Structures are given as C-alpha cells and as structure tokens.
Structure 1
Amino acid sequence: MSSTAGAFPFPRTGRQYLSGLDDGRRVVVEGRSVRDVATDEATAGMARELAGLLDDAGGAGGAGDWLSRAYSLAATAEEVAARGRAFEAVARRSGGLLGRSPDFLATIVTAWAGAADHFGPYAGNVRAYWAESRDARRVLTHAISDPPAGRDDGLAGILRIVREDADGIVVRGTKMLATLAPFADELLIYPYRPLGEDEQARAVCFAVPVAAPGLTLYCRPSLAGGGGPLARRYDEMDALCVFDDVRVPWPRVFIAGDLETANGLRAGTEMTAYAWHQSSVRAFVKAEFLWAVADRCARASGRHGTPPARSALGELAGIAETLRSLVTAAEAGSRKGANGHRICDLTPLACAAMLNSRLYPRAVEIVQTIGSSGLVMHPSPGDDAPSSEAREFYAEYFSRETVGAAEHGRLLRIAADLALDRFGARQALYERVFVGPPDVFAGKFLDIYGAARGPDSAGRGPLAAGGGEP
C-alpha cells in the first residue's frame, strides 16, 4: 500500500472512523470551532450514521455489498445492475436523504480509475488513489463550485495554483458548496465548468485531507441541534472550503494546469454515467420514502380512503415509479463505454435528473396536503413523557384504531421534517438544483436526447406519414 494511504487502519470500523474525526480539522459552525465532529451536538448524529454505514461495508450482501460494488468497474450488464442494487441498499438506510453518502464519490473515483490514461502523467496517481480509498473505506466528498464572479484575488477568490515545487502544488482560494465536508476524510477538487484560456492556474484536480494545514471549513447553521428526528440523524452539512496556501503532494495531484485535460474530464472519463446512476437510484428511493410517509399519515388520520387522499397518493406513487423505471431502463440499456467498461445508458439517467428537480418539490407538496394541520400541531417527544401535562389528552386525541398516539406523533414529526421545517426545505432545494438550474439542465437534456435519438428520428413514424399532431 502506498504511503499516501493515510494513518488509519485498513479497513476501518465505524468506531475507528469516529475516533479519527478528532484530527485537528478546522470546522467552524455558527461562529465557533467544532473541536470534535464525532461528539458535537451539531454534527454527532450524522457522524454516527456514517459510522454505521462503514460497519455495514464489512458485511456481505445488501448494504454490506455497497463498498465493493461502488468501487467496481463493470464488465457485464448484470454487474451494472448489481451496482445499482448496492446503491439502493445504501439509500434505503436514510430514505434517500443523504445526497453525499460515500458511494457517490466512490463512483467518481472509480470512473477516473477506469479511464486513468485521460490523466496523462498522473494516471498512476489516480489508480493508486482509487485502490487506497476502496481499501481504507474512505469517506470522500467533493468541492467543485466556484465563489460568485468578481472574486479573483485572495482567499475569497476562485481556487488556483499559486506555486509548484518538487514536493507538490500549493493552492489558494475558495470552493463551494461542499456537502458532507466536516465528516469526510478527504476532499476531491476538480473544475465544475469549462475553463478559458486564461484560467490555466484553475485547471486543477486533486485530493486533500480535510485536516490538511491551511484548510478551513465554514459551515452553514446546523439543522440537527434543535431539529426533528430526521434532521438530528441526517443533516450532512454544507460548507465553504477555504484554502490558505494548502500544499498538495504530487501523489495526490491528478491535473495541474492542463486546460485540455481539465475541460475534457467528464467526457474523457465517462464519470457522469457513474455518478448519475447513484443519484438516480437515490432519487427513486427518496420518492418511495415520501410516498410511504404520506400513506401512513393518511391512514393514521383516517383519510386514506377519501378520493382527495387517494388521488394525491396515486400521484406520489407515480412519481416514485417513474423515477424507478428510468433507472431500470438505464441499467437495461447499459453498453460498453469508450474506456472499455460497461456503463448505464445516459439518456434515462439524464431524464431522471431533469424530472426529479421538478417532481421532488411536488412530492413535498403532496406530503404537506396529506399531513395538513398535523404537520403544524403535532406532539413533541416531551409531550409523551410520563410527567407531561399534555400526555393524557394527546394520548386520546392522537390515538386511533390503526395507530397509537406515540407512533402517530412520531410519524407527524417525520412528515414535518420532510415538508415543513428547514431540514425539509434544504432537501427540496438540494434536489431542485442538484444538476444545476432546472431550466438550464432541461436544455442540456434536449441535447442528450437528440444525440441518442439521432438526426433522423423526427422523420420516422406518424410525422413521416403526414399524420395528425404527434
């Protein structure tokens, strides 16, 4: 194993992951430094979830198979589908609420390893990093977006190389918006947009430990401390990553100043097909979770059999099934890619990404409709305590033949987390802009669809026969 693999044992347990979070990383939340991500109220719940996921990676089958599958290069359609089922097992642990579960970045590193020659002189670095990350069970995330235009200098400017020497490169500037960053072992950095001829210093791709000297994570306010049951467990946090002359050793450098390699990263490695496979699976699992919550809320309130509730639930079921079917189509249409490995059909995955940006907010609206006033007026955990003055009344008010008061209250708190509180609002915004502005991505999908259909597609069928409106 290369010396760049890191100090933690191979492979790690969840407990070892948690103990490693007290490594000197600089994490700032609401104006204060978080000493230990594993124990701080703002971050402890999410850290425990990731620890459990890493422990599952040691098992066989189900969620335990996620690690080997996420880091696998497929040779057959069956292996592509198996990778999808591993993504599904991971997503079902959180109901699809974790947009940056570790399998997401694992797919990107795997795509790079399968196309390592794209990186030219750094191909060996990419292959070694892929193997090390797999064997170490690294928790990875990325920071790829640039700060707003006009900030070209200093730490608030776009991340860039400021010098090179025999030991590596030194970078300065900011990357945003790194989801999961406080909990990650390492950050992957690469360009989000095409770079111009005068942006050679910004043509970088590398991996760096979150605890690297000079790197600070400025986080948004935590949603976990006073949040509901989902927020306490699944607030994966988002952060600005500020690099104050951070040194990146050459073994962790994958692109350094090469505009052509940087601008061709996505097409040259086919990484989009890998990443969108994982995110599309997560999208349908998340839609199914919202349907299950809405269905149970309708049953608990006694409205499940009413025509309005049935109509709303049917629409939500249709959203989930549409997204699931697109994944099935993408896996069934898998093909041998340009780099020799089997990849999903990109068109259904792009369609899922486009539709989910619109359908997820609609799914949240349906949960709001079904939950109705119960999302506003629901019992708190304290109301269930034996000493609570509200317990006796709420036990009668929220208890029905189909569900007890305690379970009904918990169900409403989960629904409120999804559809009413800041956690749910952040989830909806995340899905809305996951692949960029929805209108812009719809135009991109048109190009993908047109390329897949071919230039002669409009000349076939009823249009060619001069029939009525299509």
Structure 2
Amino acid sequence: MPAITGNDYIGRIDQLQTNVWIDGNLVTGNISEHPAFKGVMKSQAALYDLQHDALVKDSVTYQSPSTGDPVGMSYLQPTTKDDLAQRRAMVQQWAKSNNGMMGRSPDYMNTVLMALASSVGLMKGKENCFPENILAFYEYARENDLSMTHTFIDPQVNRAQFYFEDSDEPIAAKVMERNEEGIIIKGARLLATQGGITDEIMVIAAGGVDEKEHGFAFSIPSNSQGLKFVCRESFVGGDSTFNYPLSSRYEEMDTIVVFDNVLVPWQRVFYYDNIEVANSFVASSSFLPFTLHQVVSRQIVKTEFVLGIVQSIIETINIGEYQHVQEKASEIIVALETMKALVMKSEIEAEIDEWGFMQPNRTTLQIAINIFPRTYPKFTEIIQLLGASGLMSIPTENAFQSSIRKDLDQYLQAKSKNAEDRVKIFRLAWDLTMSSFGTRETLYERFFFGDPIKLSSQLYRSYDKEPYVKRVKDILG
C-alpha cells in the first residue's frame, strides 16, 4: 500500500485492538472513539489526508524507488541539498496542520527509521547484528506508510551514576530468552508518546548499557502478544474546541510500555546481546543530524504559532505601545529567526557521508536543540506575563450560550475584539501555557531530546574549540 489516507490510518489502528490501559481500565472497542484519543487521531488522520490533497501532495510524497508509487516524503533518504530542503518543506507542511503541537507526528519516527537505515554500514560484520533487518523493515514501513511510536529509556528507578538492578523480576526491559523464533523480552520501558495509536513500536537501547541483556533494538506491531501500554491521565479537557482549542485536538498520550514475555521474531531484531553497538550505534549513526533536522523544522512552526498568540494578545488589549511588551515579543522573534537561520545553515553546510547520503551539519543542529529547551519555557512565561488576569477571565462556551451572555458581552469586550472572540484568544493562550496540556507541552519541549544539561555537555565535548585557543596562544607568543 502506498501513501495512506486518514481513514486508512484510523481503520488500521482500530483493527489492531492494542492492549491499552487508561485510568485502570482496558480500552475496548474502537480506540479512535475513546475520549482520550479521538482528537489526536483525527488530527493525525488529517496529516495522512494531505498526502492525497491535490494542492500539496507533490510536496509531501515522493516516488517509491521500489514500486514507483507515491510514499511519504519523510522516508526520503537525502542525497542532495535539494532533498534536505524538500524534507524540511514536508515536515513544516505537516506541522502547520497542527501548529507544531504534535511532536511525535509520524514524520518523526519515519525520519528516525530512515536515519538508522542510512547507517547500517556501522553494524555490518558485528556480532548479533542484523543490518539487513533494518533495511527490510525500512522498506516495509515506507511501502505501507506505517505509523510508529518508540521507547529509548528505562524506568526511573534510580538515577544514580552507577546503578545495577538487583530485583528478582526485571524492571527495565531485558532479553530473558533466545530461541528458534526470536528473543523474549520482559520488563518495562519509558516513555512511548502516542503509544497505543500507532501500527508499530520501535525499541532501541540508546546508550548507557552495562549488561548484554539490555543491549537490543527491534520493532514489533503494537498489538503483539504480551505488550501493554499503560497511559498517564488524559489531559484532554473536553470535546469543545472553544474551551480546549489545543488539548481537544493535539493531546499526545504518553505511555509506560510493559513487555510481558513478548516474542520478537528474528526478522524484526536489529541487534541484541551487543553492549558495544547498543552504546554507540545511535550516537555514531546519522540518527542525530537527520532527526534533529526534522525536530528543529517542526519547532520553527511551533514558535511561529507562539508568536501569533502573543501578537494576538497584544492587539486584543492594545498593549503594543509599551516597550517592555515589545521587548518580550522581540524575544520570540529573535528565537524564531535564530532557529530558521540554524536549520538553513545546517543545509548549506551539509555534506555527503560515507554511505552516500547528504547529512545536514550536526553541530549547527546541536546548537539549535540546545536553544529551544531553554527558550520555550520562556515563551510560556511571556504569554503569562502579557495575558495576566486575562488568562483567568475565561468563561466557557456554555456561558456564552446562557442568559449571562449580555453581561459577558459588556464586561469582557476588548479594544479590538468582542467578548467572545477575546475569550477565544485567551482560552487558547491558557490552554498552551496553564492547562495540564500546556504545562505538559513545556516539560515535553524542555526534555524533548534529553536532559538539557547533557545536551550542553555533548555540544561542548564535540565542538572544535582548538582553532580559537590557538589564536589566543598566537597573540600571547
């Protein structure tokens, strides 16, 4: 099946009947109709429908090298700088559909898989590694337009620098058995965003592996026997797009993934029982530059949306003449243009890697991913400072349909908006910055690509500082 439609996506996920638990209850029936999932699944379906929209389909799909059918552009392995630009355009086309709110839209994991498939040369000839399985799964996912979630990290039991699990029953997922059919996994992993509403889950050891039983990578269907997704509380405030303009549409569930003796067939195993590969493959592959290119492209769209909200507040209550307001809005403008410049710089400085693929500049994108986790929380603070009491004066949709409306129309009007339109803007700002959905968004962006301190350390260690030290030495003689 080539590029799918939204109905294809929803029908496929409903048919899986994946083992999803929320609030102590097993989800039964069509998951696309469940209050916690129906909004985001509808938004995700709209992304797939863009692949068949006559106005944009040529910019979000490309011709499959295997079949000639149209397939998702996020699977494209770039070999030129134009390919990178096409990938960016596709990511941003999709992101504009949800204002950058869906950090785990399918193009993210498609990019991850594409990056791993572009680096399989690193695994060739290594013990218990199956690069051919990655390539086969990449082609299968591309040709069937699969949606995927992923989990990279172990449960947060003990974050000491040195911790060895001594529980009789495994906590962190590990290989319990190897047999003719595959490997048996038992334990848990964190934190699968969109867990339960995708075709597949990819599981990868992303470093810090001390025991071979924890050194594995694979992908399996979300409805695999023994696989469970345990959801946090839903942050969907309700169905009303007036009351909850963001959470009703874009709430991406986060899940704990439980493996209860799950069989991973050999053809789906990428590697296992290999500490060296488990600790090095993701870092040394093209995972970082390709994935960051997708991430930063989406974050640009989200920043544009934040700026739009800020300016809407400014115009609504007529505070644009104040310099401190201009300063706050300018902080967002500076961040936006900096991110745009960095992603463009990464493409301009892109180079062909040893496998023939065009990699965007890694260091430039590392800088971008160090900026956003620090600036996004500042964005939410700016909205709170500018919105102030307006973020509390937000009656619901029902209030405007009641006999109290006359009072609301009189006392909640604004310089440039009637009361209802004013409240819509402030409810949007509230949902982004103060609701449970909004505060989750802030935490999510703060830790999107890992601990910001570790990201800084990685940048410091990898950045070539020696030329600048040499200039100091030269002037000192």
TM-score calculated relative to the size of structure 2: 0.90
Shift of 1:116: 2.3
Match of 1:12 among 4, 13, 21: 4
Does structure 1 conserve the Cα–Cα contact (< 8 Å) formed by 2:296 and 2:339?
yes
One-letter amino acid of the counterpart of residue 422, structure 1: S
Mean CA deviation greater in 417-426 or 226-235: 226-235
Mean CA deviation greater in 117-126 or 278-287: 117-126
Match of 2:367 among 344, 351, 354: 351
Q: Verify: 1:324 aligned to 2:340, yes or no.
A: yes
Does structure 2 conserve the Cα–Cα contact (< 8 Å) formed by 1:319 and 1:363?
no
- Cα distance in 1 between the residues matched to 2:169 and 2:440: 27
Find the counterpart in structure 1 of residue 137 from structure 2.
129
- Cα distance in 2 between the residues matched to 1:48 and 1:220: 20
Does structure 2 conserve the Cα–Cα contact (< 8 Å) formed by 1:155 and 1:174?
no
Gaps of 5+ in 2: 62-71, 159-163
Match of 1:90 among 94, 119, 140: 94
Distance 1:248 1:170, change over 3 A: same
Find the counterpart in structure 2 of residue 253 from structure 1.
269
Find the counterpart in structure 2 of residue 416 from structure 1.
430
Q: Verify: 1:26 aligned to 2:19, yes or no.
A: yes
- Cα distance in 2 between the residues matched to 1:190 and 1:89: 28
Shift of 1:328: 1.4
Match of 1:209 among 209, 221, 230: 221
**Per the alignment, in what secondary structure is the counterpart of residue 222 of structure 1?**
coil
Shift of 1:396: 2.7
Shift of 1:417: 0.8
Shift of 1:435: 2.4
One-letter amino acid of the counterpart of residue 390, structure 2: G
Does structure 2 conserve the Cα–Cα contact (< 8 Å) formed by 1:294 and 1:313?
yes
Residues 296-335 of structure 1 correspond to what in structure 2 (within 5 A)? 296-335=312-351
Does structure 1 conserve the Cα–Cα contact (< 8 Å) formed by 2:59 and 2:86?
no
Match of 1:139 among 135, 138, 147: 147
Q: Verify: 1:71 aligned to 2:71, yes or no.
A: no
Residues paired across the two proteins, number: 451
Shift of 1:418: 1.0
Tell me the alpha carbon deviations over residues 207-264 of structure 1, each in whole angstroms, 9 at most, x when there is no partner: 0111111011111100014472201111111000000011111111111212222222
Does structure 1 conserve the Cα–Cα contact (< 8 Å) formed by 2:39 and 2:248?
yes
Shift of 1:160: 1.1
TM-score calculated relative to the size of structure 1: 0.91
Mean CA deviation greater in 153-162 or 80-89: 153-162
Find the counterpart in structure 2 of residue 37 from structure 1.
31
**Per the alignment, in what secondary structure is the counterpart of residue 21 of structure 1?**
helix
One-letter amino acid of the counterpart of residue 327, structure 1: V
- Cα distance in 1 between the residues matched to 2:397 and 2:382: 25
One-letter amino acid of the counterpart of residue 426, structure 2: L
Match of 1:236 among 247, 252, 256: 252
Q: Verify: 1:457 aligned to 2:459, yes or no.
A: no
Find the counterpart in structure 1 of residue 64 from structure 2.
none
Distance 1:418 1:382, change over 3 A: same
Find the counterpart in structure 2 of residue 193 from structure 1.
207
Residues 149-228 of structure 1 correspond to what in structure 2 (within 5 A)? 149=158, 151-153=165-167, 157-196=171-210, 199-226=211-238, 228=244
**Per the alignment, in what secondary structure is the counterpart of residue 181 of structure 1?**
coil
Shift of 1:352: 1.0
**Per the alignment, in what secondary structure is the counterpart of residue 354 of structure 1?**
helix
- Cα distance in 1 between the residues matched to 2:189 and 2:8: 28
- Cα distance in 2 between the residues matched to 1:16 and 1:253: 27
- Cα distance in 1 between the residues matched to 2:325 and 2:410: 24
Mean CA deviation greater in 164-173 or 112-121: 112-121
- Cα distance in 1 between the residues matched to 2:256 and 2:196: 10
Gaps of 5+ in 1: 1-8
Mean CA deviation greater in 75-84 or 200-209: 75-84
Shift of 1:71: 0.7
Does structure 2 conserve the Cα–Cα contact (< 8 Å) formed by 1:119 and 1:254?
no
**Per the alignment, in what secondary structure is the counterpart of residue 184 of structure 2?**
strand
One-letter amino acid of the counterpart of residue 29, structure 1: I
Residues 283-294 of structure 1 correspond to what in structure 2 (within 5 A)? 283-294=299-310
Find the counterpart in structure 2 of residue 3 from structure 1.
none
Does structure 2 conserve the Cα–Cα contact (< 8 Å) formed by 1:37 and 1:47?
no
Tell me the alpha carbon deviations over residues 301-346 of structure 1, each in whole angstroms, 9 at most, x when there is no partner: 1212222221211112112112221111111111112322101101
Distance 1:331 1:152, change over 3 A: farther
- Cα distance in 2 between the residues matched to 1:434 and 1:368: 22
Does structure 2 conserve the Cα–Cα contact (< 8 Å) formed by 1:27 and 1:217?
yes
Identity %: 27
Find the counterpart in structure 2 of residue 5 from structure 1.
none
- Cα distance in 1 between the residues matched to 2:154 and 2:111: 22
Does structure 2 conserve the Cα–Cα contact (< 8 Å) formed by 1:63 and 1:90?
no
**Per the alignment, in what secondary structure is the counterpart of residue 264 of structure 1?**
helix
Shift of 1:277: 0.7
Shift of 1:70: 1.1
One-letter amino acid of the counterpart of residue 31, structure 2: V
**Per the alignment, in what secondary structure is the counterpart of residue 232 of structure 1?**
helix
Does structure 1 conserve the Cα–Cα contact (< 8 Å) formed by 2:317 and 2:415?
no
**Per the alignment, in what secondary structure is the counterpart of residue 445 of structure 1?**
helix
- Cα distance in 1 between the residues matched to 2:107 and 2:437: 22
One-letter amino acid of the counterpart of residue 50, structure 2: D
Distance 1:398 1:464, change over 3 A: farther
Shift of 1:349: 0.7
Does structure 1 conserve the Cα–Cα contact (< 8 Å) formed by 2:384 and 2:391?
yes
Distance 1:186 1:194, change over 3 A: same
One-letter amino acid of the counterpart of residue 364, structure 2: P
Mean CA deviation greater in 179-188 or 267-276: 267-276
Match of 1:279 among 264, 272, 295: 295
